[in-house]
Amino acid sequence: MSDWLSRALDAVESQATESAASSASQVDDLRAAIMRDGVIATSEAARLMDLHRTGAPVTGEDGWDDLFVEALTSYFALSHEVPELEAGELSADWADVLAKVGRSFGLGRTGPSPDGETWVEASARLGVSAQSADVLVTSLGANGLLLDAVEMRLLARLFSHAVTYPAALRSFAWQALAATVQADRVITEAEAALVRALAMGPASEAGVAVTRQEAEMIIAINRACDPASKHVSWTNVFAGCMASHVLHQGRSPGSLDAVETAWLDSQLAGHSGPETEALDRFLAAA
């Protein structure tokens, strides 16, 4: 592998120390270098994170956020995205839902690939290792648990793609998400996407069946936010995750029994809005 990206990063870092900035787009240079290399090295990923964390001049260019998210997602975990689920799919025939999720993540192939790589080996290659998770947590948590918009986008994309990752990384993401939402009482598009990816992504704790702990966290996040400060996508994320919990993680798969109904009523008591109305529609379709 050549070192096109490393050379481009050298140029970016050199310019950061100069008083006069070039009129050329450094983001374009970095993107071109990544395309020529085809692979991002560990040291290069670390340098990209350093540029973001230190607020280097290149981070103010148009296109930096997209480059940062795409490059680091490709480096840490490149896989299929978590599928969207419609209300009609959360039905009593819940095995179809699980099958759809499985097909999306390529879980139908259990035998060795033509080049001799087993599915387990391929999955590990598409996941986040413990070492990589430590790098992420150290970098993103350098200034505490409050994350900026592009860092939330990165985590949302990462958890939508990674087929494996350490539990410590999941815990960090939930804590950072909760702290960031509580700080500004806003749910952004990236934060809504992160909730969906954490709760229903390819390496979530229970697959499409959202766990009780996750469901309670999602309810707490929903309550912490101003009603008018929730991105429109949150309505479907909240409803889908909550319906998945009571329909697929509970005692009566595919249907809502009396105990589940009582728990849901107690959790949502005194609270109403587009997300709870959407949840009612999801459950009515079951």
Residues 207-242: tens digit of each pLDDT: 778 999 999 999 999 999 988 999 999 999 999 999
Residue 196 lies in a domain: yes
Question: Of the residues 24, 46, 76, which one is the last residue of a structural domain?
Answer: 76
User: Is residue 125 in a domain?
Assistant: yes
Do 132 and 217 share a domain, yes or no?
Answer: yes
The answer to whether 225 touches 218, Cβ cutoff 8 Å, is no
Question: 114: helix, coil or strand?
Answer: coil
Q: Are residues 122 and 53 in the same domain?
A: no
Q: 131 vs 75, 76, 91, 136, 168, CA distance in Å?
A: 13, 11, 40, 9, 11
Percent of the chain with pLDDT over 70: 79
Asked if 174 and 59 count as a contact pair (C-beta separation under 8 A), the reply is: no
Tell me what the pLDDT averaged over the chain comes to: 82
Question: Are 118 and 56 found together in one domain?
Answer: no
**Looking at the structure, do residues 187 and 250 belong to the same domain, yes or no?**
yes
Count of CB atoms situated within 10 Å of the CB of 27? 20
Does one domain contain both 220 and 169?
yes
Last residue of a domain, one of 33, 56, 76: 76
Q: Specify whether 170 is located in the same domain as 36.
A: no
- For residues 248 and 97, is the Cβ–Cβ distance under 8 A? yes
- Domain assignment present for 141: yes
140 and 224 both lie in a single domain: yes
* Domain containing residue 48: 4-76
Residue 243 included in any domain: yes
Do 195 and 98 share a structural domain? yes
The larger pLDDT score, comparing residue 222 to residue 3, is at 222
Amino acid at 272: S
Residue 27 has pLDDT above 60, yes or no: yes
82 belongs to a structural domain: no
The answer to whether position 128 is within a domain reads yes
Predicted local distance difference test score (pLDDT) of residue 79: 46
pTM above 0.85, yes or no: no
**pLDDT class of 107 with cuts at 50, 70, 90:** very low
261 or 143: which leads in pLDDT: 261
Alpha helices in the chain (DSSP H): 4-16, 26-37, 42-54, 64-76, 94-104, 119-125, 130-140, 149-161, 167-184, 189-200, 212-224, 233-244, 258-268, 274-284
**Angle CA(163)–CA(166)–CA(167) in degrees, nearest 5?**
110
CA-nearest of 41, 43, 49 to 137 is 49
Q: What is the DSSP string of 24-38?
A: S-HHHHHHHHHHHH-
* pLDDT exceeds 80 at position 49: yes
The Cα 257–Cα 264 span in angstroms is 11
Question: Are 149 and 245 within one domain?
Answer: yes
pLDDT of 86 over the 70 cut: no
Residue 280, pLDDT > 70, answer yes
Q: 227 in a domain, yes or no?
A: yes
CA-CA distance, 61 to 28, in Å (whole number)?
Answer: 10
Residue 81 lies in a domain: no
- The residue with tokens 């150290």 is 138
**Same-domain pairing of 166 and 268:** yes
245 with 103, same domain: the answer is yes
Mean pLDDT on 146-157: 94
Q: Is the pLDDT of residue 104 over 60?
A: no
User: Which amino acid type is present at position 70?
Assistant: E
Report which of 155, 160, 202 is spatially closest to residue 178, judged by C-alpha positions: 155
How large is the angle between the packed helices 212-224 and 233-244, nearest 10 degrees?
Answer: 150
Of 76, 100, 126, the domain-final residue = 76
Q: How many domains, in total, are found in the chain?
A: 2
User: To which residue do tokens 């978590």 refer?
Assistant: 82
57 & 21 share domain: yes
Distances in Å between the Cα of 125 and the Cα atoms of 111, 128, 164 are 16, 8, 9
